[in-house]
Amino acid sequence: MSFAISSALSQGTNLAAPFVIDPTKGPSSAFTIDITVHDVVGMLGYGITLRYDESILTATGVHTYPPFTQAWPSESGDGFVERTYTWPIPEWSGLDVYSEDPPFAVMSIDFTVDNWGVSELQIQNSKIPDCYGGLIDHTAISGVFSNIWPAETMPSDVYMGLTAGFVENRHFKVSKEPDVMQTLTAQLENKGIVTTKARAKFLVLDSMGGPIAQLTSATVYITPGATLRLSADLDTSEMELPASYTVEVQAEYVGFAGWTLGRHGGATAAKTTVALTFKLDY
Protein backbone atom coordinates (compact mmCIF):
# COMPACT_ATOMS: atom_id res chain seq x y z
CA MET A 1 0.00 0.00 0.00
CA SER A 2 1.53 3.30 -1.10
CA PHE A 3 0.16 6.80 -1.32
CA ALA A 4 1.73 9.91 -2.90
CA ILE A 5 -0.86 12.61 -2.50
CA SER A 6 -0.82 16.14 -3.84
CA SER A 7 -1.55 18.83 -1.28
CA ALA A 8 -5.02 20.36 -1.30
CA LEU A 9 -4.64 23.62 -3.25
CA SER A 10 -6.26 26.86 -2.17
CA GLN A 11 -7.46 29.65 -4.43
CA GLY A 12 -4.75 31.88 -5.84
CA THR A 13 -1.05 31.12 -6.26
CA ASN A 14 0.21 28.07 -4.36
CA LEU A 15 3.70 26.76 -3.64
CA ALA A 16 3.24 23.22 -2.31
CA ALA A 17 5.03 20.16 -0.94
CA PRO A 18 3.35 16.74 -1.33
CA PHE A 19 1.97 14.20 1.12
CA VAL A 20 4.06 11.00 0.87
CA ILE A 21 2.31 8.19 2.75
CA ASP A 22 4.14 4.95 2.09
CA PRO A 23 4.63 2.14 4.66
CA THR A 24 7.15 0.45 2.32
CA LYS A 25 9.61 3.33 2.85
CA GLY A 26 11.38 1.95 5.90
CA PRO A 27 14.88 2.77 7.17
CA SER A 28 17.59 2.80 4.44
CA SER A 29 15.07 3.39 1.65
CA ALA A 30 14.89 6.55 -0.46
CA PHE A 31 12.34 8.76 -2.18
CA THR A 32 12.07 12.08 -4.03
CA ILE A 33 9.53 14.87 -3.70
CA ASP A 34 8.62 17.70 -6.07
CA ILE A 35 7.84 21.24 -4.95
CA THR A 36 5.14 22.61 -7.25
CA VAL A 37 3.62 25.97 -8.14
CA HIS A 38 0.08 26.55 -9.37
CA ASP A 39 -1.95 29.47 -10.70
CA VAL A 40 0.83 32.02 -11.21
CA VAL A 41 1.62 34.65 -13.85
CA GLY A 42 5.02 36.21 -14.56
CA MET A 43 6.97 34.01 -12.11
CA LEU A 44 10.66 34.87 -12.34
CA GLY A 45 11.99 32.49 -9.69
CA TYR A 46 11.51 31.16 -6.17
CA GLY A 47 13.15 30.98 -2.78
CA ILE A 48 12.24 28.30 -0.27
CA THR A 49 13.25 26.76 3.03
CA LEU A 50 11.92 23.24 3.57
CA ARG A 51 12.13 21.85 7.11
CA TYR A 52 11.79 18.18 8.06
CA ASP A 53 12.39 15.89 11.05
CA GLU A 54 16.08 14.95 10.90
CA SER A 55 15.49 11.96 13.20
CA ILE A 56 13.38 10.39 10.43
CA LEU A 57 14.76 11.81 7.15
CA THR A 58 18.01 13.08 5.63
CA ALA A 59 18.02 15.29 2.52
CA THR A 60 20.64 13.98 0.09
CA GLY A 61 20.12 16.10 -3.01
CA VAL A 62 18.34 19.13 -4.42
CA HIS A 63 17.57 19.73 -8.11
CA THR A 64 15.87 22.57 -9.97
CA TYR A 65 13.76 22.29 -13.10
CA PRO A 66 13.97 24.58 -16.15
CA PRO A 67 13.47 27.44 -16.64
CA PHE A 68 14.76 28.20 -13.12
CA THR A 69 18.41 27.27 -13.59
CA GLN A 70 20.19 30.33 -12.16
CA ALA A 71 21.26 29.41 -8.62
CA TRP A 72 21.77 31.96 -5.86
CA PRO A 73 23.70 31.49 -2.58
CA SER A 74 21.92 29.00 -0.35
CA GLU A 75 22.57 26.46 2.37
CA SER A 76 21.38 23.23 3.95
CA GLY A 77 21.76 21.74 7.41
CA ASP A 78 20.27 19.28 9.86
CA GLY A 79 16.53 19.31 9.29
CA PHE A 80 16.32 21.94 6.54
CA VAL A 81 17.04 22.70 2.89
CA GLU A 82 17.24 26.31 1.66
CA ARG A 83 17.40 27.18 -2.03
CA THR A 84 16.88 30.16 -4.37
CA TYR A 85 16.71 29.87 -8.17
CA THR A 86 15.69 32.31 -10.92
CA TRP A 87 15.20 32.40 -14.66
CA PRO A 88 18.68 32.99 -16.14
CA ILE A 89 19.62 36.41 -17.52
CA PRO A 90 19.01 37.55 -20.29
CA GLU A 91 16.08 35.19 -20.81
CA TRP A 92 13.84 36.67 -18.12
CA SER A 93 10.24 36.62 -19.23
CA GLY A 94 8.29 34.88 -16.44
CA LEU A 95 6.48 31.57 -16.07
CA ASP A 96 2.72 31.35 -16.44
CA VAL A 97 0.82 28.44 -14.86
CA TYR A 98 -2.92 29.00 -15.10
CA SER A 99 -5.56 27.78 -12.66
CA GLU A 100 -6.81 25.18 -15.14
CA ASP A 101 -3.28 23.79 -15.64
CA PRO A 102 -1.81 21.01 -13.48
CA PRO A 103 0.73 22.08 -10.84
CA PHE A 104 4.19 22.81 -12.28
CA ALA A 105 7.25 21.20 -10.60
CA VAL A 106 9.95 23.80 -9.93
CA MET A 107 12.37 21.70 -7.84
CA SER A 108 12.91 18.24 -6.38
CA ILE A 109 14.48 17.05 -3.13
CA ASP A 110 15.94 13.59 -2.55
CA PHE A 111 15.64 11.96 0.88
CA THR A 112 16.87 8.84 2.59
CA VAL A 113 14.76 7.35 5.38
CA ASP A 114 16.48 6.89 8.73
CA ASN A 115 13.63 5.77 10.97
CA TRP A 116 9.95 4.91 11.20
CA GLY A 117 7.60 7.80 11.91
CA VAL A 118 5.94 10.94 10.62
CA SER A 119 7.79 14.06 9.42
CA GLU A 120 6.22 17.30 8.29
CA LEU A 121 7.65 18.70 5.04
CA GLN A 122 7.24 22.30 6.12
CA ILE A 123 7.68 25.18 3.68
CA GLN A 124 9.00 28.33 5.35
CA ASN A 125 10.16 31.79 4.20
CA SER A 126 9.01 31.20 0.63
CA LYS A 127 9.28 33.98 -1.96
CA ILE A 128 8.12 34.14 -5.58
CA PRO A 129 9.61 37.15 -7.43
CA ASP A 130 7.89 38.31 -10.61
CA CYS A 131 9.38 39.64 -13.82
CA TYR A 132 8.37 43.22 -12.90
CA GLY A 133 10.58 43.51 -9.82
CA GLY A 134 7.95 42.64 -7.21
CA LEU A 135 6.91 39.61 -5.17
CA ILE A 136 3.86 37.46 -5.92
CA ASP A 137 1.44 36.87 -3.06
CA HIS A 138 1.00 33.15 -2.57
CA THR A 139 0.01 30.41 -0.15
CA ALA A 140 2.73 28.00 1.03
CA ILE A 141 1.27 24.53 1.58
CA SER A 142 3.38 22.13 3.62
CA GLY A 143 3.34 18.36 3.08
CA VAL A 144 4.08 15.31 5.19
CA PHE A 145 6.02 12.05 5.01
CA SER A 146 4.83 8.97 6.88
CA ASN A 147 5.77 5.32 6.74
CA ILE A 148 3.37 4.32 9.54
CA TRP A 149 -0.40 4.11 9.72
CA PRO A 150 -1.45 5.85 6.47
CA ALA A 151 -4.43 8.15 6.87
CA GLU A 152 -6.24 6.28 4.08
CA THR A 153 -6.11 2.86 5.72
CA MET A 154 -9.19 1.12 7.00
CA PRO A 155 -9.27 -0.02 10.66
CA SER A 156 -8.83 -3.62 9.56
CA ASP A 157 -5.52 -2.69 7.89
CA VAL A 158 -4.00 -1.85 11.27
CA TYR A 159 -4.17 -4.73 13.75
CA MET A 160 -1.78 -5.46 16.58
CA GLY A 161 -2.35 -8.85 18.21
CA LEU A 162 -1.19 -9.88 21.67
CA THR A 163 -0.31 -13.53 21.09
CA ALA A 164 1.16 -14.43 24.51
CA GLY A 165 2.32 -13.10 27.87
CA PHE A 166 5.08 -14.40 30.09
CA VAL A 167 6.27 -14.08 33.68
CA GLU A 168 9.93 -14.99 33.93
CA ASN A 169 9.53 -16.91 37.21
CA ARG A 170 6.11 -18.14 38.29
CA HIS A 171 7.51 -18.90 41.75
CA PHE A 172 9.87 -16.04 42.55
CA LYS A 173 11.94 -16.57 45.71
CA VAL A 174 13.15 -13.06 46.46
CA SER A 175 15.70 -13.99 49.13
CA LYS A 176 17.53 -16.35 46.76
CA GLU A 177 17.56 -14.07 43.68
CA PRO A 178 20.54 -11.82 42.84
CA ASP A 179 18.14 -8.88 42.77
CA VAL A 180 14.46 -8.23 43.35
CA MET A 181 13.46 -7.60 39.73
CA GLN A 182 10.87 -9.86 38.09
CA THR A 183 10.70 -9.67 34.29
CA LEU A 184 7.28 -9.49 32.61
CA THR A 185 7.04 -10.08 28.84
CA ALA A 186 4.39 -9.65 26.15
CA GLN A 187 4.56 -11.13 22.65
CA LEU A 188 3.03 -8.83 20.02
CA GLU A 189 2.32 -9.68 16.39
CA ASN A 190 1.54 -7.15 13.66
CA LYS A 191 -1.40 -8.77 11.86
CA GLY A 192 -2.11 -5.70 9.74
CA ILE A 193 -0.60 -4.48 6.47
CA VAL A 194 1.20 -1.33 7.68
CA THR A 195 4.11 -0.76 10.05
CA THR A 196 2.72 0.12 13.45
CA LYS A 197 4.11 1.88 16.52
CA ALA A 198 3.37 -0.26 19.56
CA ARG A 199 4.13 -0.91 23.22
CA ALA A 200 3.03 -3.32 25.97
CA LYS A 201 1.50 -2.46 29.33
CA PHE A 202 1.47 -4.66 32.42
CA LEU A 203 -0.95 -4.21 35.33
CA VAL A 204 0.02 -6.16 38.46
CA LEU A 205 -2.82 -7.04 40.86
CA ASP A 206 -2.81 -8.57 44.32
CA SER A 207 -4.90 -11.61 45.30
CA MET A 208 -7.91 -9.35 45.99
CA GLY A 209 -7.69 -7.69 42.57
CA GLY A 210 -6.18 -4.46 43.85
CA PRO A 211 -3.60 -2.72 41.62
CA ILE A 212 0.00 -2.98 42.84
CA ALA A 213 1.98 -1.63 39.88
CA GLN A 214 1.57 -0.54 36.25
CA LEU A 215 4.54 -0.92 33.89
CA THR A 216 5.11 0.07 30.25
CA SER A 217 7.62 -1.46 27.85
CA ALA A 218 9.75 0.45 25.37
CA THR A 219 7.94 1.74 22.27
CA VAL A 220 8.87 -0.01 19.01
CA TYR A 221 7.86 -0.10 15.35
CA ILE A 222 6.62 -3.50 14.15
CA THR A 223 6.53 -4.29 10.44
CA PRO A 224 3.64 -6.30 8.92
CA GLY A 225 3.84 -9.99 9.84
CA ALA A 226 6.57 -9.49 12.44
CA THR A 227 6.43 -10.77 16.02
CA LEU A 228 8.34 -9.08 18.85
CA ARG A 229 8.64 -9.61 22.59
CA LEU A 230 8.45 -6.51 24.78
CA SER A 231 9.30 -6.59 28.46
CA ALA A 232 9.39 -4.53 31.64
CA ASP A 233 10.98 -5.21 35.03
CA LEU A 234 8.85 -5.33 38.17
CA ASP A 235 10.52 -4.23 41.40
CA THR A 236 9.28 -6.70 44.04
CA SER A 237 11.13 -5.15 47.00
CA GLU A 238 8.01 -3.44 48.40
CA MET A 239 5.55 -6.24 47.63
CA GLU A 240 4.15 -8.54 50.30
CA LEU A 241 5.44 -12.09 50.50
CA PRO A 242 4.56 -14.83 50.56
CA ALA A 243 1.66 -13.90 48.28
CA SER A 244 0.20 -14.61 44.82
CA TYR A 245 -0.20 -11.96 42.12
CA THR A 246 -1.90 -11.63 38.74
CA VAL A 247 -0.57 -9.78 35.68
CA GLU A 248 -2.87 -8.26 33.05
CA VAL A 249 -1.03 -7.70 29.76
CA GLN A 250 -2.19 -5.19 27.16
CA ALA A 251 -1.00 -4.24 23.65
CA GLU A 252 -1.28 -0.63 22.58
CA TYR A 253 -0.60 0.93 19.21
CA VAL A 254 -0.57 4.40 17.74
CA GLY A 255 -1.51 6.39 14.66
CA PHE A 256 -1.10 10.03 13.64
CA ALA A 257 -3.23 11.43 16.46
CA GLY A 258 -1.72 9.66 19.45
CA TRP A 259 -2.24 6.47 21.38
CA THR A 260 -5.34 4.62 20.24
CA LEU A 261 -6.87 2.15 22.70
CA GLY A 262 -9.67 -0.04 21.41
CA ARG A 263 -11.92 -2.59 23.07
CA HIS A 264 -11.22 -6.29 23.38
CA GLY A 265 -12.05 -8.11 20.15
CA GLY A 266 -12.39 -5.12 17.82
CA ALA A 267 -10.39 -4.54 14.63
CA THR A 268 -8.38 -1.83 16.38
CA ALA A 269 -8.55 -3.50 19.77
CA ALA A 270 -6.04 -3.46 22.58
CA LYS A 271 -6.36 -7.14 23.47
CA THR A 272 -5.96 -8.06 27.14
CA THR A 273 -5.13 -11.32 28.90
CA VAL A 274 -5.57 -11.94 32.64
CA ALA A 275 -4.17 -15.47 32.65
CA LEU A 276 -0.73 -14.81 34.14
CA THR A 277 -0.07 -15.45 37.82
CA PHE A 278 3.05 -15.74 39.94
CA LYS A 279 3.95 -16.22 43.58
CA LEU A 280 6.46 -14.33 45.68
CA ASP A 281 8.16 -16.27 48.45
CA TYR A 282 11.17 -16.16 50.75
> What does the pLDDT look like over 10-24, one tens digit per residue?
568 889 999 888 878
Amino acid present at 55 = S
Q: Say which range, 101-115, 158-172, 177-191, 257-271, has the weakest mean pLDDT.
A: 257-271
Instruction: Report the alpha-carbon distance of residue 280 to residue 176 in Å, rounded.
Output: 11
Q: What b/e string do you get for 26-50 counting C-beta neighbours within 10 Å, with b at 16 or more?
A: eeeeebebbbbbbbbebbbbbbbbb
- The more confident residue out of 281 and 256 is 281
When pLDDT is averaged across residues 198-226 and rounded to a whole number, the result is 88
- CA 204 → CA 211, 228, 248, 275, 278, distances in Å? 6, 22, 6, 12, 10
Strongest mean pLDDT among 76-90, 94-108, 147-161, 245-259: 94-108
> What does the pLDDT look like over 255-271, one tens digit per residue?
433 444 332 233 334 45
pLDDT of residue 135: 92
Q: Which domains does the chain have, with CATH numbers?
A: 3-146 (2.60.40.680), 155-281 (2.60.40.10)
When pLDDT is averaged across residues 25-38 and rounded to a whole number, the result is 94
- Concatenate the DSSP letters of all residues of 34-65 into one string: EEEEESEEEE-EEEEEEE--TTTEEEEEEEE-
- The more confident residue out of 167 and 264 is 167
Instruction: Report the alpha-carbon distance of residue 7 to residue 36 in Å, rounded.
Output: 10
Angle at 110 between CA 109 and CA 115, to 5 degrees: 120
Instruction: Report the alpha-carbon distance of residue 146 to residue 156 in Å, rounded.
Output: 19
pLDDT of residue 8: 47
